[in-house]
Amino acid sequence: MDAETAHSATITALRLGLAPEQTHPDGAELKSSFCGIDLSNPIGMAAGFDKNAEVPRPLARLGFGLVEIGTVTPRPQSGNPKPRLFRVFPSEGVVNRMGFNNEGHEAAFARLKGLRVPAALGVNIGANKDSEDFVADYVLGVERFADLADYLTVNVSSPNTPGLRNLQADEALRRLLGEVLAARAKANTRVPVLLKIAPDLDEAALDAIAAVVLATDLDGLIVSNTTITRDGVAGQTNASETGGLSGKPLFNLSTQKLAQVRQRVGDLPIIGVGGIHSAQSAVAKFEAGANAIQLYSAMVFGGLELLDTIKRGMVAAVRAEGKTNISQLVGTKTADWASGKISL
């Protein structure tokens, strides 16, 4: 089945209640707190899966501790021409150039208003491709969803909207975060705001981002989005397609960047995302410095049952280390991951 058709079918199945539901409570080893939000477990569905807030409740009932919808933009947009989603089978990777296709703020707001989601609900906000002022679009996102979301994610790291990644640069980032956080203050809410960054930033760029972030009251970071590099997949079917690469091939790069960011931002909460495909890789994200994690692409290959497999493996890993909670593993191998001494 075509990749995007398969994705739509999965959304439909979840919406119709055809997906399994978790029947047992999460182990105490997985209970967590992130940005002041209590979580039954620190594993989230990453943005990009449920772009239009169609199935946040079924995803939570499947067993995710966090569910992040979006990316949503102020106005509906169709995204890039199809085909725009490709599986890289040999390495369990995915290339996408979706282009923030979504139904817009109002459609997502209507679905979320009054909805009880038994997990932390994140709303990932972005900018319309044809906007004259990207920053203004993010402000609109804060204004629209600040009262509905448990946290907001400012997504400036998609490679599929021309010019968007430029907002990660020093002065542009200062203006963006300044206006976004001012909008939150004006909304009279303390909803946590996170910034999602790219894995393709060098250490000088990470220095600059850390300096800007630490000078604000931003609540946390998500490391990372997809990569425009093709290390390890060159020559494989679909690997040369334009877009961002996610899935297993992204794991080492995104985890090294996560550790390097952790070294720069102290105790600032971080969600680690990128290439998680097993319990071992999930645990490695925490050891590199993540406080919570998200996955998506691996489920294309591993199915919805992968979530339970990862949870059971994480509990076993915590016990094997003689610990009682996954939080006790956070940052235990940051230096080794940051320097490249460790890889999976």
Residue 227 carries which DSSP code? B
Reported as half-sphere exposure (CB side, CA atoms, 13 A), residue 95 has a value of 22
Which three-class secondary structure state does DSSP give residue 153? Answer: strand
**CA torsion through residues 212, 217, 223, 229, sign:** negative
Q: How far, in Å, CA of 193 to CA of 181, rounded?
A: 8
Task: Give yes or no for a contact between 266 and 260, defined as CB atoms under 8 angstroms apart.
Answer: no
Task: Give yes or no for a contact between 142 and 219, defined as CB atoms under 8 angstroms apart.
Answer: no
Task: Give yes or no for a contact between 122 and 150, defined as CB atoms under 8 angstroms apart.
Answer: yes
Active site residue 158: yes
Instruction: State the CB neighbour count (10 A cutoff) for residue 78.
Output: 11
Q: For strands 85-88 and 93-96, give the pairing.
A: antiparallel
Rounded to the nearest angstrom, the gap between the alpha carbon of residue 111 and the centroid of all alpha carbons in its chain is 21
Q: Which stretches of the chain are DSSP H helices?
A: 3-15, 56-62, 105-112, 134-145, 170-186, 203-214, 251-265, 279-288, 297-302, 306-320, 334-339
What residues contact residue 140 under an 8 Å CB cut-off, 6+ apart? 74, 105
Residue in 32, 131, 158, 224 annotated catalytic: 158
Tokens of 165: 């990644």
Active site residues: 158
